[in-house]
């Protein structure tokens, strides 16, 4: 009997664990270690943040779902990996610390035959002084609880605006190295929509602040679309939407410090500026889970397994990390998400170390990096989780010595539906696809992407799709009938 | 919306009234709902290796 240990129960980890258990059956063990007791459909947190959904609409208890599936669920956080075992254990293992109320603080070493690291992001609010809900200056929608707080504060501000007060809203990225601009984009327009519904839009000045070089970069170097007889940069459509909805924008910005009602930020040309706000939602940069790694003799090998950000090395070409942007290639990106030193270890979603940025690296004259980092959430992370699950299944059941399925971000596309306001008849969303996610200028020399697989449009249909996806992915994650036919 | 000359938003395209109407026209959006789902399904099929 083989044991597959999955670290993390988010979109990629949950996908990998549930498919593996279905395919491997009772003959093999699937263990999921995650510090959370609940699964969160994160894309809908934006609606929780504007009061369009409740916390309960976007989360569910993991324990009953894993019990039904036959998955061994441990509510714990992974502390360290011993990929060679130790003096007392011949098998590799992960040291975990339990976080559930019944056994909080107790520790255990869990051995494994195969390991999937799907730990997702650590929200690194500490990277920017004064950032995040704990400091009380800004809100976040990165977790369901954060989103609840974001709405409570938004509702207070709306009440004050109803009395005639003018308010300044600041939404965007809280550091020069953030990813997930899409979430900030969605929240910007959902707040704008909410203010309009509340009849207080005229009392609001809304500003979007971002580390993107231009609007529409989204950490993937932007994209080009065929529309209206032109091949046009997504920047044009993004700026059009901001203009149409009366949202001012600041790009190429690194937020250095957040204090009560004010941010200090640096721009790409080195200027130091300030921006005042009454309500701010700023996304933090992401870091890895912060696990350590030790060899059989107890020597610290963390730097061989993880990059300085805490993301796990896999089969990417890391020699390109310092190469100029023009030398970036599609094949730099990992094909199998497999660690090359310990081939029974895989990392998916946010947890794997990207070889380099997708957007062009930029620095201010002061040496401050101001560029989006690569997005690895949502659809691509689930596809990586499923591909790795396939590979491990084939290794266990068919004795495959090499991975059989790939999930390279430069060979897969992504569909993204970015909400711009909730309402069955009044809502809208930008529905986009891009193929591939990482531009491949060797295969598609003009624009880096296949323009037949890359498109975008805004409208009510996009909102219906986002709403439909909310229910269908929760259905799938709860392993309800026919869950396997819902694509990643 | 009112254009402010030489401001940030003075150089961007904005949707015409007809474009805005189409974005919320339910029969047209039903057509687009189907079309976008087909496009996304094609993309998903192309992305699995």
Interface test with A, best of B8, B11, B12, B34 (most A CBs within 10 A): B12
Among A209, A207, A237, smallest CA distance to A222 is for A237
Q: Residue B48: pLDDT above 80?
A: no
Q: Residue B1: pLDDT above 70?
A: no
Per DSSP, the residues of A332-363 read GS-SS-B-SSSTTEEE-GGGBPPSS-SSPP-B
Question: What's the pLDDT at B2?
Answer: 73
Question: What's the pLDDT at A322?
Answer: 87
Partner residue opposite A465 with nearest CB, options B22, B37, B43: B37
CA distance A384 to chain B (A): 10
Q: Is residue B43 part of a domain?
A: yes
Per the CB < 8 Å rule, is A415 touching B33? Answer: no
Using a CB-CB cut-off of 8 Å, the residues of chain B touching A460 are 23-24, 26, 29
Instruction: Please state the domain count of chain B.
Output: 1
The CATH code that applies to domain A3-123+287-397 is: 3.50.50.100
Count Cβ–Cβ pairs < 8 Å, chain A vs chain B. Answer: 87
Among A282, A334, A280, smallest CA distance to A312 is for A334
Using a CB-CB cut-off of 8 Å, the residues of chain B touching A428 are 23-24
Per the CB < 8 Å rule, is B13 touching A240? Answer: yes
Please list, in sequence order, all residues whose beta carbon lies within 8 angstroms of the beta carbon of residue A255, skipping any fewer than 6 positions away.
A128, A131, A173, A174, A175, A176, A209, A263, A264, A265, A282
Question: What's the pLDDT at B45?
Answer: 85
Partner residue opposite B49 with nearest CB, options A239, A406, A428: A406
CA distance A237 to chain B (A): 8
Q: Which domain holds residue B38?
A: 25-49
Using a CB-CB cut-off of 8 Å, the residues of chain B touching A412 are 47-49
Per DSSP, the residues of A37-94 read SEEE-GGGHHHHTTTSS-HHHHEEEHHHHHHHHT-EEEEEEEEEEETT--SS-SS-EE
Per the CB < 8 Å rule, is A412 touching B49? Answer: yes
Q: Is residue B32 part of a domain?
A: yes
Q: Is residue B34 part of a domain?
A: yes
Tens digit of pLDDT for each residue in B11-27? 999 999 999 999 999 99
pLDDT tens digits for chain A (488 residues)? 999 999 999 999 999 999 999 999 999 999 999 999 999 999 999 999 999 999 999 999 999 999 999 999 999 999 999 999 999 999 999 999 999 888 999 999 999 999 999 999 999 999 999 999 999 999 999 999 999 999 999 999 999 999 999 999 999 999 999 998 999 999 999 999 999 999 999 999 999 999 999 999 999 999 999 988 999 999 999 999 999 999 999 999 999 999 999 999 999 999 999 999 999 999 999 999 999 999 999 999 999 999 999 999 999 999 988 899 999 999 999 999 999 999 999 999 999 999 999 999 999 999 999 999 999 888 999 999 999 999 999 999 999 999 999 999 999 999 999 999 999 999 999 999 999 999 999 999 999 999 999 999 999 999 999 999 999 999 999 999 999 999 88
Q: Is residue B2 part of a domain?
A: no
- φ, ψ at B29 (rounded to 5°): -70, -25
Using a CB-CB cut-off of 8 Å, the residues of chain A touching B19 are none
Using a CB-CB cut-off of 8 Å, the residues of chain B touching A238 are none
Compute chain A's Rg from CA coordinates.
22
Partner residue opposite B8 with nearest CB, options A236, A248, A408: A248
Using a CB-CB cut-off of 8 Å, the residues of chain A touching B27 are none
Q: Is residue B41 part of a domain?
A: yes
In A284-393, DSSP assigns E strands to 286-287, 292-293, 345-347
- Cβ burial of A341 (10 Å; 0-12, 13-18, 19+) is exposed
Other C-beta atoms closer than 10 Å to the C-beta of A95 total: 18
Q: Is residue B6 part of a domain?
A: no
Question: What's the pLDDT at A102?
Answer: 84
Interface test with B, best of A19, A192, A216, A243 (most B CBs within 10 A): A243
Q: Complex ipTM, two decimals?
A: 0.95
Residues on A contacting B at a C-beta cutoff of 8 Å: 236, 239-240, 242-244, 246, 248-249, 383, 387, 405-408, 411-415, 425-426, 428, 431, 433, 435, 453, 455, 457-462, 464-465, 487-488
Per the CB < 8 Å rule, is A460 touching B41? Answer: no
Can you name the residues that pair with A3 across neighbouring β-strands?
A: A29
Nearest CA in chain B to A425: B24
- The whole-angstrom separation of Cα A350 and Cα A140 is 19
Q: Where are the domains of chain A?
A: 3-123+287-397
């Amino acid at each position: 009997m083989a044991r597959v240990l999955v670290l993390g129960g988010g979109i990629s980890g949950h996908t990998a664990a549930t498919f593996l258990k279905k395919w491997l059956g009772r003959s093999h063990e699937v263990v999921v270690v995650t510090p959370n007791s609940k699964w969160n459909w994160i894309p809908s947190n934006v609606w929780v943040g504007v009061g369009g959904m409740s916390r309960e609409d976007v989360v569910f208890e993991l324990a009953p779902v894993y019990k039904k599936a036959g998955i061994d669920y441990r509510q714990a956080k992974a502390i360290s990996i011993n990929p060679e075992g130790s003096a007392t254990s011949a098998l590799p293992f992960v040291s975990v610390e339990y976080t559930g109320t019944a056994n909080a603080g107790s520790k255990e070493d869990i051995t494994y035959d195969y390991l999937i690291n799907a730990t997702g992001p650590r929200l690194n609010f500490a990277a920017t002084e004064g950032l995040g809900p704990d400091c009380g200056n800004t809100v976040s929608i990165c977790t369901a609880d954060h989103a609840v707080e974001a709405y409570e504060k938004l509702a207070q501000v709306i009440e004050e605006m109803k009395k005639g007060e003018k308010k300044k809203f600041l939404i965007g990225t809280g550091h020069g190295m953030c990813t997930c601009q899409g979430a900030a984009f969605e929240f910007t327009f959902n707040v704008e929509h909410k203010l309009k519904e509340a009849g207080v839009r005229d009392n609001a000045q809304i500003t979007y602040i971002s580390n993107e070089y231009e609007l529409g970069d989204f950490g993937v170097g932007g994209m080009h679309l065929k529309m209206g007889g032109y091949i046009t940069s997504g920047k044009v459509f993004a700026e059009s939407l901001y203009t149409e909805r009366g949202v001012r924008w600041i790009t190429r910005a690194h937020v250095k410090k957040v204090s009560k009602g004010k941010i200090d930020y640096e721009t790409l040309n080195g200027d130091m500026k300030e921006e005042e706000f009454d309500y701010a939602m700023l996304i933090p940069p992401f870091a890895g889970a912060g696990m350590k790694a030790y060899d059989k003799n107890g020597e610290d090998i963390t730097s061989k397994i993880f990059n300085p950000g805490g993301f796990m090395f896999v089969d990417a070409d890391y020699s390109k990390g310092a190469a100029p942007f023009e030398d970036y290639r599609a094949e730099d990106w990992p094909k199998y998400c497999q660690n090359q030193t310990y081939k029974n270890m895989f990392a998916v979603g946010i947890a794997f170390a990207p070889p380099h940025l997708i957007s062009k690296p930029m620095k201010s004259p002061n040496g401050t990096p101001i560029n989006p980092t690569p997005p690895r959430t949502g659809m691509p992370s689930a596809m990586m989780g499923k591909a790795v699950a396939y590979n491990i299944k084939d290794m266990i059941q068919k004795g495959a010595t090499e991975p059989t399925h790939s999930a390279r971000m430069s060979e897969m596309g992504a569909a993204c539906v970015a909400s711009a306001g909730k309402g069955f008849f009044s809502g809208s969303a930008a529905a986009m696809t891009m193929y591939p996610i990482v531009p491949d200028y060797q295969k598609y020399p003009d624009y880096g992407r296949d323009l037949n697989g890359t498109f975008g449009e805004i409208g009510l249909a996009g909102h219906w799709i986002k709403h439909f996806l909310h229910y269908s992915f929760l259905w799938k994650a709860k392993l309800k009938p026919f869950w396997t036919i819902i694509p990643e | 919306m009112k254009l402010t000359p030489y401001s940030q938003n003075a150089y961007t395209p904005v949707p015409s009234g007809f474009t805005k109407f189409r974005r919320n026209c339910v029969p047209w959006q039903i057509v687009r709902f189907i079309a976008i789902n087909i496009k996304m399904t094609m993309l998903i099929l192309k992305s699995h290796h």
